[in-house]
Amino acid sequence: MQRRGLAVRMRFVADLSQCLFDFVIQLLPTAEEMAVKEDVRKLLERLIRTIEPDSRLLSFGSTANGFSLRNSDMDLCCLIDSKERLAATDLVTMLGDLLERETKFHVKPLPHARIPIVKLSLDPSPGLPLGIACDIGFENRLALENTRLLMCYAMIDPTRVRTMVLFLKVWSKRRKINSPYKGTLSSYGYVLLVIYFLVHVKNPPVLPNLQQMPPLRPITTEDTHLAGYNTWFFDDIELLRQRWHSDNTETVAELLIDFFRYYSRDFPYNTGVASIRTGLLKKELKGWQNDLSGGRYNDSRERNRLCIEDPFETDYNVARCVTKDGLYTIRGEFMRAARVLSTRPERAIIALAELCE
């Protein structure tokens, strides 16, 4: 009887892996969508150069790191290579005016936001049936680097890493726990949770720690630091593929089930910080404790419910927007997911549909 139970479970897990691949593949952006987005980037770059001739417009976020879903937004970063450049606030205002005059975009310049950006959107068209949403920021070189780091992690084990990340992105959107404005976690935060789990929780690890691998040649602080932060990581993925291989043979379904179990039960939310650079850290050590006595509105208390260290900006909690209620909801969803995947052993496809309903 027990053996039969085990066989059913093994079959379920194998089916679930297949269902996860099939599910994710149909949600990938089409080649046409990618081409339209690249055309939009080029067009915007051309227009920005009429204001700042030495500028470049680069993609970051999911469009550039391999974790993009169909119709995901476009994150663009404008870099200006000359020393004499306009202040970001002026540039945002001028660019806003220009785009309004010259293009069909709906334009919303936010020159006085903490990070000045121009928000753009485009109505649906045959190539982009759901239109397009795009943010243009300025000089955000750290975001370009963290995008490259995530892309390298995705390339080491594309099948398992990308499938897990893409599934979790869809799941978190469908379950409505992917909105920093409403007190839950950004996509970037979920990706970091997955990488933390695959590097530091799984034993043997599925991924190496790219930020702690020895460099191939001597490097200086000048080579590695950006805005005062150490952004070095091992990025020769071709070489890494030849030299490093994971002893972890778990399937994507096994990893996903364990991911939900870990974050619903085992991660020490009250005291721990998930750091992909270092592993599990103590909130206390980072000055991020959320049990500081203080009034009801103690800001740090709300800010540090869930702590995820940025891989480069190590003094920055990527999950600072997650509120007490937000974390309660997120953990509730992790528990629900763990439960659905352990109590619906008949049909993987049904479990998956229930998970995302």
Contact set with ligand GTP (CB under 6 A): 60-62, 67-69, 72-73, 75, 142-143, 146-147, 169, 186-188, 310, 313, 318
Whole-number minimum distance, CB 225 to ligand GTP, in Å?
16
Pick between residue 59 and residue 264 the one whose CB is nearest to Mg ion: 59
Pick between residue 145 and residue 157 the one whose CB is nearest to ligand GTP: 145
Whole-number minimum distance, CB 186 to Mg ion, in Å?
9
Pick between residue 117 and residue 281 the one whose CB is nearest to Mg ion: 117
Q: Fill in the amino acid letter for 84.
A: E
Please identify which residue in 52, 75, 145, 310 interacts with Mg ion, judged by CB under 5 A: 75
Of the candidate spans 20-28, 65-73, 137-145, 343-351, the one that interacts with Mg ion by CB under 5 A turns out to be: 65-73
Whole-number minimum distance, CB 95 to ligand GTP, in Å?
19
Pick between residue 33 and residue 75 the one whose CB is nearest to Mg ion: 75
Among ligand GTP, Mg ion, none, residue 186 binds (CB under 5-8 Å by kind): ligand GTP
Does position 137 interact with Mg ion (CB under 5 A)? The reply is: no
Number of Cβ within 10 Å of residue 337's Cβ equals 24
Residues in the chain: 357
Q: What is the three-state SS of the chain?
A: CHHHHHHHHHHHHHHHHHHHHHHHHCCCCCHHHHHHHHHHHHHHHHHHHCCCCCEEEEEECHHHHCCCCCCCCEEEEEEECCCCCCCHHHHHHHHHHHHHHHCCCEEEEECCCCCCEEEEEECCECCECCCEEEEEEECCHHHHHHHHHHHHHHHHCHHHHHHHHHHHHHHHHHCCCCCHHHCCCCHHHHHHHHHHHHHHHCCCCCCCCCCCCCCCCCCCHHHHEECCEECCCCCCHHHHHHHCCCCCCCCHHHHHHHHHHHHHHHCCCCCEEEECCCEEEEHHHHCCCCCCCCCCCCHHHHHCCCCEECCCCCCCECCCCCCHHHHHHHHHHHHHHHHHHHHCCCCHHHHHHHHHC
Whole-number minimum distance, CB 203 to ligand GTP, in Å?
27
Pick between residue 55 and residue 62 the one whose CB is nearest to ligand GTP: 62
Residue whose C-alpha is closest to residue 46's, from 37, 55, 38: 55
Please identify which residue in 29, 61, 311, 326 interacts with Mg ion, judged by CB under 5 A: 61
Whole-number minimum distance, CB 321 to ligand GTP, in Å?
8
Give the whole-angstrom CA distance, residue 50 versus residue 161.
40
Whole-number minimum distance, CB 68 to Mg ion, in Å?
8
Burial letters for 206-229: b for 16+ Cβ neighbours within 10 Å, e otherwise?
bbbbbbebeeeeeeeeeeeeeeeb
Pick between residue 61 and residue 96 the one whose CB is nearest to Mg ion: 61
Whole-number minimum distance, CB 117 to ligand GTP, in Å?
11
Whole-number minimum distance, CB 140 to ligand GTP, in Å?
8
Number of residues forming the site for Mg ion (CB under 5 A): 4
Pick between residue 61 and residue 109 the one whose CB is nearest to Mg ion: 61
Among ligand GTP, Mg ion, none, residue 310 binds (CB under 5-8 Å by kind): ligand GTP
Pick between residue 29 and residue 351 the one whose CB is nearest to ligand GTP: 29
Task: Tell me if 152 sits within 8 A of 210, measured CB to CB.
Answer: yes
Among Mg ion, ligand GTP, none, residue 290 binds (CB under 5-8 Å by kind): none
Q: Which residue is nearest to ligand GTP (CB)?
A: 61
Pick between residue 137 and residue 208 the one whose CB is nearest to ligand GTP: 137
Whole-number minimum distance, CB 79 to ligand GTP, in Å?
14
Give contact residues for Mg ion (rule: CB under 5 A).
61-62, 73, 75
